[in-house]
């Protein structure tokens, strides 16, 4: 996608600069577009765990490059396995992270240590290219849903979408998952408008989704997380599209905390609730998302404080709770498949069921 007319991906390698890995520091958006240069696996682990880089597909891609950086220091079997385990443990919920590390190890174990660095960069590059292509395909399939909605209304009627968290191009390598169809609908002239949940506690919607949509010229409005149900009751939401960090083989969906409440409100108001994902987000080993998907518990300070920009333009954190009040911070929740209208994947759309997923992915 483009920033001020220049095309970017959300992760890239600079061969002329020691094969370092570059990302945008997502903790500083939307106020500051800072590029971080990562040169060690520790840099990568830190960037993932502090959420300088985030979003399920992107943390997988960046972790893959983290393993390439680790191999530059020590390409032996023991170090490779240890660094792979260290990178895979940086965040627990998004399955793409573990998937990417397992794919890297599968490709690298048979390679002689002296050839592993080159092989690792090549494999990580393929993971990135495939993610971008899968998301573009998700965009095309999701676009059909928006086109169908537009056709069912008088020409030019505004289509109101709602999304939660950030499942745009900076959460993936390119395009995004939930936002890819929205970008394509906007680009072909459909009258789309997006309600953007602010997504407390870290405000990925208010900070990142709003920044992405604004940069692309997509009409949008940021709303408090609690506003979605009210808007749905008043007919102001035509379609919900969210991304996900892990989908079970039965169609349960783990995504940013608060997604489940949106799905409940959507069902009560007959609003279609779609989930966009590349197949790298499906955990074929898990049947029950509520009991089996590990939910990341993040620092209480993300609840007790909010980050923002002060009157002088400096980034700052402000306390909003009493000194002695404890806070809890589960970062994800699971939306049971029964509340999901359907899944949008790179191979097309399907019901959120085991049979639906197997129709698209018979090899599983
Ligand atoms: O904690 P985050 O910001 O990494 O959570 C991200 C999300 O929940 C996204 O919706 C999900 O990863 C899909 S990204 C295409």
For the Cβ of 27 lying below 6 angstroms from any atom of ligand 1, the answer is no
Q: CA 9 to CA 24: how far, in whole Å?
A: 10
For the Cβ of 259 lying below 6 angstroms from any atom of ligand 1, the answer is no
**What is the atom index within ligand 1 of the atom nearest the CA of 276?**
15
Same-domain status, 210 and 82: no
Which pLDDT score is estimated for 313?
Answer: 87
Same-domain status, 278 and 330: yes
Residue-range definition of the domain harbouring residue 68: 2-129
226 lies in some domain = yes
Q: CA 101 to CA 96: how far, in whole Å?
A: 9
For the Cβ of 244 lying below 6 angstroms from any atom of ligand 1, the answer is yes
Going by their DSSP bridges, the two strands 159-163 and 192-197 should be labelled as parallel
Q: Averaged over 15-34, what is the pLDDT?
A: 96
Whether the CA torsion 60, 61, 65, 66 is positive or negative: it is: negative
CA 304 vs. chain centroid, Å, equals: 24
Same-domain status, 17 and 41: yes
227 lies in some domain = yes
Which pLDDT score is estimated for 14?
Answer: 96
Q: Answer whether 29's CB lies under 8 Å from 315's CB.
A: no
136 lies in some domain = no
Same-domain status, 181 and 323: yes
Residue 122 reports pLDDT greater than 90: yes
Q: How remote is the CA of residue 54 from the centroid of ligand 1, in Å?
A: 7
Same-domain status, 86 and 51: yes
219 lies in some domain = yes
Q: How remote is the CA of residue 16 from the centroid of ligand 1, in Å?
A: 31
What tokens appear for 115 in the block?
Answer: 């050839």
138 lies in some domain = no
Q: Averaged over 128-155, what is the pLDDT?
A: 98
For the Cβ of 55 lying below 6 angstroms from any atom of ligand 1, the answer is yes
- What SS3 class is residue 190? coil
CATH of the domain at 325: 3.40.50.10470
Same-domain status, 121 and 171: no
Q: Is 54 assigned a ligand-binding role in the annotation?
A: yes
Active-site residue numbers?
245
- Dihedral, CA of residue 100, residue 276, residue 51 and residue 46, to nearest 10: 0
Note the pLDDT tens digit of each residue in 93-108: 999 999 999 999 999 9
Same-domain status, 113 and 156: no
Note the pLDDT tens digit of each residue in 320-336: 999 999 999 999 999 99
**What is the atom index within ligand 1 of the atom nearest the CA of 164?**
10
Note the pLDDT tens digit of each residue in 334-360: 999 999 999 999 999 999 999 999 999
pLDDT band at 81 (very low <50, low <70, confident <90, very high): very high
Same-domain status, 282 and 313: yes
Same-domain status, 176 and 67: no
Q: Where among 75, 95, 129 does a domain terminate?
A: 129
Residue closest by Cα to atom 11 of ligand 1 = 244
Note the pLDDT tens digit of each residue in 269-316: 999 999 999 999 999 999 999 999 999 999 999 999 999 999 998 999
Q: Where among 96, 129, 162 does a domain terminate?
A: 129
Q: Which of 16, 192, 6, 319 is nearest to 24 (CA)?
A: 6
For the Cβ of 199 lying below 6 angstroms from any atom of ligand 1, the answer is no
Q: How remote is the CA of residue 158 from the centroid of ligand 1, in Å?
A: 27
CATH of the domain at 43: 1.20.120.420
Q: Is 204 assigned a ligand-binding role in the annotation?
A: yes
Q: Averaged over 172-181, what is the pLDDT?
A: 98
Cα–Cα distances in Å, from 246 out to 115, 153, 200, 278, 341? 33, 34, 20, 10, 17
Note the pLDDT tens digit of each residue in 188-246: 999 999 999 999 999 999 999 999 999 999 999 999 999 999 999 999 999 999 999 99
Buried b (16+ CB within 10 A) or exposed e, 343-360: bbbbbebbebbbebbeeb
Q: Is 224 assigned a ligand-binding role in the annotation?
A: no
Note the pLDDT tens digit of each residue in 37-74: 999 999 999 999 999 999 999 999 999 999 999 999 99
Cα–Cα distances in Å, from 309 out to 16, 32, 306? 35, 10, 10
Q: Is 26 assigned a ligand-binding role in the annotation?
A: no
Q: How remote is the CA of residue 115 from the centroid of ligand 1, in Å?
A: 34
pTM value?
0.98
For the Cβ of 177 lying below 6 angstroms from any atom of ligand 1, the answer is yes
Say how many residues make up the chain.
364
Same-domain status, 276 and 176: yes
For the Cβ of 345 lying below 6 angstroms from any atom of ligand 1, the answer is no
Which pLDDT score is estimated for 270?
Answer: 98
Q: What is the mean pLDDT of the chain?
A: 98
Q: Which one of 50, 56, 279 would you pick to mutate in the ligand 1 pocket, going by the greatest count of ligand atoms within 8 A of its CB? A: 56
320 lies in some domain = yes
Q: How remote is the CA of residue 78 from the centroid of ligand 1, in Å?
A: 31
119 lies in some domain = yes
**What is the atom index within ligand 1 of the atom nearest the CA of 168?**
15
137 lies in some domain = no
pLDDT band at 150 (very low <50, low <70, confident <90, very high): very high
Q: Is 160 assigned a ligand-binding role in the annotation?
A: no
Same-domain status, 300 and 330: yes
For the Cβ of 336 lying below 6 angstroms from any atom of ligand 1, the answer is no
Domain count across the chain: 2
């Amino acid at each position: 996608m483009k920033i001020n007319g220049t095309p970017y991906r959300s992760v890239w390698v600079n061969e002329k600069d020691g094969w370092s890995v570059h990302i945008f520091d997502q903790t500083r958006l939307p106020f500051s577009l800072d590029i971080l240069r990562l040169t060690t696996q520790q840099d990568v682990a830190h960037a993932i765990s502090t959420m300088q880089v985030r979003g399920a597909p992107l943390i997988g891609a960046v972790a893959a490059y983290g393993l390439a950086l680790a191999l530059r220091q020590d390409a032996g079997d023991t170090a490779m396995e240890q660094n792979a385990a260290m990178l895979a443990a940086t965040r627990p919920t998004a399955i793409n992270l573990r998937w990417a590390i397992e794919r890297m190890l599968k490709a690298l174990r048979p390679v002689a240590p002296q050839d592993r660095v080159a092989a690792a960069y090549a494999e990580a590059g393929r993971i990135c290219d495939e993610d971008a292509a899968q998301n573009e395909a998700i965009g095309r399939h999701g676009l059909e849903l928006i086109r169908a909605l537009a056709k069912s209304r008088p020409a030019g009627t505004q289509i109101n979408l709602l999304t939660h968290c950030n499942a745009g191009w900076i959460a993936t390598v390119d395009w995004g998952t939930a936002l890819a169809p929205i970008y394509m609908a906007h680009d072909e002239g459909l009258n789309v408008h997006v309600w953007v949940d602010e997504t407390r506690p870290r405000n990925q919607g208010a900070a990142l989704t709003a920044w992405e949509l604004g940069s692309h010229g997509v009409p949008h409005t940021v709303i408090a997380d609690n506003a979605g149900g009210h808007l749905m009751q008043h007919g102001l939401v035509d379609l919900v599209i969210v991304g996900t960090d892990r989908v079970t083989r039965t169609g349960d969906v783990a995504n940013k905390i608060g997604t489940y409440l949106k799905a409940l409100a959507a069902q009560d108001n007959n609003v279609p609730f779609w989930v966009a994902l590349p197949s790298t987000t499906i955990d074929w080993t898990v049947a029950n998302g509520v009991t089996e998907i590990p939910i990341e518990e993040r620092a209480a300070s993300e609840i007790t404080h909010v980050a923002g920009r002060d009157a002088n333009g400096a980034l700052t954190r402000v306390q909003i709770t009493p000194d002695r009040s404890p806070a809890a911070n589960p970062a994800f929740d699971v939306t049971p498949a029964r509340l999901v209208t359907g899944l949008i994947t790179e191979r097309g759309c399907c019901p959120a069921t085991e049979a639906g997923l197997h129709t698209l992915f018979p090899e599983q």
